[in-house]
Structure 1
Amino acid sequence: MEDLSIREILEQVGRGQIRIPAFQRGFVWDSDRVAYLMDSIYKKYPFGALLFWRTKNVLKYDRKLGPFVLPDPKEDYPVDYVLDGQQRITSIFGVFQTEIERPDDPNWLPIFYDLEAEQTVQDSQFVALKPEAVDPARHFPMSTLFSTAEYRAATTNFDDSTIERIDQMQAIFKEVKIPLQLSRTEDKATVAIIFERVNRQGVELDTLQLLSAWTWSEDFQLNEEFSDLADELQPFGFQEIGVDTNLLLRCCSAILKHDASPQALMELKGATVRENFDQVTNGVKYAVDYIRRHFHAEKLSNLPFSTLLVPLSVLFAVSGNKEASTTDEQRERVNSWFWRASLSRRYSSAVLRNLNTDISEMVNLRDGKPSKLGDFSFHIDAEFFTRNTFGMANVNTKTFILMLAGLKPLSFISGSPVDLAKTLKESNRTEFHHMMPRAYLRESSQTQKYDDSCLANFCFLSRTDNRKIGGDKPSVYRSKMPTDITAIQTSAMFDDLLFKDDYEKFIAARADALVDYAMKLACINKTVAAVPVAPVVSPDTGNPFVAAPDGISQEILPKDDI
């Protein structure tokens, strides 16, 4: 750990040694917060260490320091790039420097020592003021503290006791030492790790701009390429991918390096990315198409983990105008992996290790080699559906919703297909329904064992039918449903036990059925369509359903959609 004085900061910034890398966000503090920083320094409160990266590799791009344009650094002279502490460095330089003309910006006000402020531990002794609000007899300009001539002129009209008080204040700022952590390395992978760890501590940094500033040329602006990709995906509801730069960068690295780690990302060269960027865009676009058709997701946030897109994009990474295609065996393996990864919350921990394993196995699958994609420890039981409660942003709920979406649900009263595209795209909570309404359950005191909002108590339901059912118990709202509800039951996976109004028995039975369905989705080398039973025609698509011996049904999709 080293120390820097304020004068050293002013000198090093002024000669271009301390710089703000382009991957940092811009200066965001307002003038009042700058004044509070001055108060913290004055009162010797802790205000955090600075983190610099010292290197002789000058980045192609860097930012202004707040509104100040800095001189170029000297050749062959090390440069200190600020990894953490930009707001503090910019504030200190802006308050005390006198060499660069202060910008005419209402959001960048000079800071003054308020001689009449109450001297308490809570109240700030420093204020940010517009010129017309300054009282020279009360407000002492902080910009004069490190300029002997200006300081002498600013103290001329004060009495001796006030000058002594101002001198004491000046001494604090001249003597203060700001702790500095300095990383000396030319290894960009090391800086990438530091960068990520700082990011986890809440400092918002932009990996995309880091890469652009480091290695990628001016004629290839990756953020523009990502923006174009977002525009292409917008009609399909996946435009949010274009602003998730971390996800897209992982896709880039997975496709081009078969490795999604920060180290692999840092090793990517601009020329490599430029020459193969069509593989990246094709991989992402085909992956999105596959997700929409096979798993019924209508936007990125419908996925239990957005990271699922990364290995899948590797499967479809083809060059130019080539068409990506998959065999029945590949689709079966991919679909099993998707459900296993979702149901087991595979990407909730050890993310990078699991991600790279899946990328490697996806490459093998794509290239026709033996693949163990999805062959990881997997277990699901009834508690997944009885202990987890329904919440649209919850990983388990998202998995459950996509499971039900695959059954092409029909609304309870009208018998019409639920508008999945609208419901999932809008993440509309009102299009889901407690099969046994909460009001009835609480009135009948049936929630001792199972929560009234557990997953097993939910199904798709149109908003209109939801209102018609209201708080009626199932045996009552059954009269509002069509006479023959076989197709509705098939599409929501329940039987007549629902209408017995016994919550515990119903939840236990439906949870078991959902477990069997989940296992079918996650099982390799089995398809529901292979079960030799009589079909029932779906009123939705006209495609036949098959009822498995255990009562679970699944629509037989056209061959291309299996």
Structure 2
Amino acid sequence: MAEPLAIRKVIEKITSGEIRIPAFQRGYVWSSEQVSYLLDSIYKGFPIGTILLWRTRERLKVERDLGNYTLPDPRKDYPIDYVLDGQQRLTSLFSVFQTDLTPNQNEEWLDIYFDFTSRDVIQESKFVPLKPQEFDPTRYFPMNCLFDSVKYRKAAEGLDAETIIVIDKLQERFKETLIPIQIMETEDKHHVAIVFERINRFGTQLDTFQLLSAWSWSTDFDLQDEFSQLAEEIEPFGFGDLSFDKDLQLKCCSGVISGDTAPAAIINLKGEEVRNNFTKIKNGIKSSIDFLQKELNIYSLKSMPYPAMIVALTRFFATEKDNGVLYTEKQRRQLVRWFWRSCFSRRYSSGVTDAHKADLRAMDELRKNQDYDIASFDCSVNASFFLSNQFNVNTVNTKTFITMLAHRGPRSFISGAKVDLSKVLKNVSKNEFHHIFPVNYLENTLKLSNKKDINLLANMCFLNNSDNQKIKDKPPSVYKMLIDPINLPTILETGFCPADAFDIDYDRFLEKRAHNLVEYARQIIN
């Protein structure tokens, strides 16, 4: 144990840059109410716990702000103390009492005040967070001036002698309070990460990603920072959302390193393994995205029927080489077939860990043997897929349907223009998909008994908004006249529509289009 420090001394060390926050710590999460109870505990002489610091002469490559404050650079050739345990308490005390640094904007932070009119009740706090307009100087004393003599005297002006005695005792209590400090002095970063992980297993539980970040951390590697940088690289390609999906990131890491994505496999990853394999993981993810775009017209994570499928692809494409894995035409066809069979069989709807384990192993075999069948699991498609599923861009079946439409290179129904899939499929907006038999036409003319029959997959197609405005509620036999006859065969073919689509009734149209869709689906899964 080191010598305990007075609160004022702790604030001085933070202000001078000696005490800092490592990047593997979580952010500041305490509410103003929690800060109030911390101050009340100090006021009443309750223990507030020990602060654990890691002392080193080597500054970390990546650090965190301390709450709302960006800390100044430390003095040269001076040991730095990084907070391993007690960050929330230190940040709270600093935020309340410091007067030298300007805080970054935070609308949620409220200053803390001492209620000198309240009774001393052991279970109740005498400290309250207040908005500026709620401050009443005849009842509350601001805590942020306790260690600033000029501000302290000004705040005490006008108070009666009895109240000033109470306030002076308050100041004395906080000046005399000593915070227990424990210092771990080592240059072994792996040892530090292990200690941090152990602390947080027995204290406030971190999520798995935070634990792995601590476990894999070193001065030149921070998992959160590495994934943030990767997200910036892939953002222009529509996959920036990967930075928010911590679970998927972890599974990509574990899938490449251990060939397993079970929680136990993830938590048992060694930090050195993550650091040593991250280039492979990163290249695997980038090559998977490239493959999905070029071969399957997948232009965003949200447009993938199952984002979890990227884990197995990452395993196949993982390599140290920046130019990626060179694959054969047979391997390409196998990967495409695996994608479609996984989608239509809803392989990743349940038992995801088992599916990952089997597919990760299959990807290894395919890398060694281009003739290896990676999609031998059961899969079948029939007309009910297109005649019973409603169009909803947030569902797996609709995303599978959209991806299949995109695979055919669709044309907009009136203009005949090629659909810009890179734009449409980045956001997957329902505004780019419309009914071949318009809603109003079906409702007003046919008076369908079941409104759900209107929104079936078999009645949906790519159609830009301007073309849709031309169609409105016209029946197909009428808006057919708006289409250039030269473009008509291509529009129908790329839209899986029968040649007589605009000349038959709705039921017959659904039957014939579903037949075409099923025929194509069976072709791509086999």
Instruction: State the TM-score bracket (shorter-chain normalisation).
Output: 0.5 to 0.7
Q: 1:40 to 1:379 in 2, by over 3 A?
A: farther
8 Å Cα contact 2:257-2:274 kept in structure 1: no
Whole-Å separation in 1 of the counterparts to 2:307 and 2:355: 14
- 1:405 aligned onto 2:406: yes
TM alignment of 1:346-357, pairs within 5 A: 346-357=347-358
Q: CA deviation at 1:361?
A: 1.2
Whole-Å separation in 2 of the counterparts to 1:371 and 1:187: 45
Deviations 1:264-314 (A, max 9, x none): 54444465237xx2x344433332222122101233333223332221122
Whole-Å separation in 2 of the counterparts to 1:53 and 1:136: 34
Segments of 5+ residues of structure 2 without an aligned counterpart are 41-47, 119-123, 175-192
8 Å Cα contact 1:19-1:81 kept in structure 2: no
Deviations 1:393-437 (A, max 9, x none): 433322211100111112222333323233223535433221111
Whole-Å separation in 2 of the counterparts to 1:188 and 1:511: 58
TM alignment of 1:253-264, pairs within 5 A: 253-260=254-261, 261-263=265-267
Q: 1:269 to 1:308 in 2, by over 3 A?
A: same
Whole-Å separation in 2 of the counterparts to 1:357 and 1:9: 58
8 Å Cα contact 1:189-1:263 kept in structure 2: no
Q: Which residue of 1 aligns with 2:368?
A: 367
Q: 1:306 to 1:207 in 2, by over 3 A?
A: farther
- 1:507 aligned onto 2:505: no
Q: Which residue of 1 aligns with 2:456?
A: 454
Q: Which residue of 2 aligns with 1:464?
A: 466
- 1:487 aligned onto 2:490: yes
Q: CA deviation at 1:363?
A: 1.0
The more displaced of 451-460 and 53-62 is 53-62
- 1:217 aligned onto 2:219: yes
Q: Which residue of 2 aligns with 1:81?
A: 85
Q: CA deviation at 1:472?
A: 0.9
Q: CA deviation at 1:522?
A: 2.0
Give the share of equivalent positions with the same residue, in percent.
Answer: 33
Whole-Å separation in 2 of the counterparts to 1:196 and 1:407: 51
Q: CA deviation at 1:446?
A: 1.4
Which amino acid in 1 is paired with 2:447?
S
Q: Which residue of 1 aligns with 2:432?
A: 431
8 Å Cα contact 1:216-1:270 kept in structure 2: no
Q: Which residue of 1 aligns with 2:32?
A: 34
8 Å Cα contact 1:456-1:511 kept in structure 2: yes
Q: 1:493 to 1:27 in 2, by over 3 A?
A: same
Whole-Å separation in 2 of the counterparts to 1:226 and 1:126: 37
The more displaced of 397-406 and 344-353 is 344-353
Q: 1:373 to 1:190 in 2, by over 3 A?
A: farther
Whole-Å separation in 2 of the counterparts to 1:51 and 1:391: 53
| SS state at 1:333 partner | helix
Q: TM-score, normalised by structure 1?
A: 0.64
Whole-Å separation in 2 of the counterparts to 1:195 and 1:522: 50
Q: Which residue of 2 aligns with 1:294?
A: 295
TM alignment of 1:130-169, pairs within 5 A: 136-142=137-143
Q: 1:349 to 1:198 in 2, by over 3 A?
A: farther
| SS state at 1:111 partner | strand
Which amino acid in 2 is paired with 1:473?
P
Deviations 1:118-143 (A, max 9, x none): xxx9xx9641449xx96543322457
Segments of 5+ residues of structure 1 without an aligned counterpart are 1-6, 43-49, 174-184, 524-562
Q: TM-score, normalised by structure 2?
A: 0.67
Q: Which residue of 2 aligns with 1:111?
A: 112
8 Å Cα contact 2:299-2:426 kept in structure 1: yes
| SS state at 1:375 partner | coil
Whole-Å separation in 1 of the counterparts to 2:312 and 2:49: 35
Q: Which residue of 2 aligns with 1:311?
A: 312
Q: Which residue of 1 aligns with 2:520?
A: 517
Deviations 1:190-220 (A, max 9, x none): 88999998549xxxx7578545xx43332x4
Q: CA deviation at 1:111?
A: 1.4
8 Å Cα contact 1:411-1:418 kept in structure 2: yes
8 Å Cα contact 1:390-1:453 kept in structure 2: yes
Q: CA deviation at 1:222?
A: 5.7
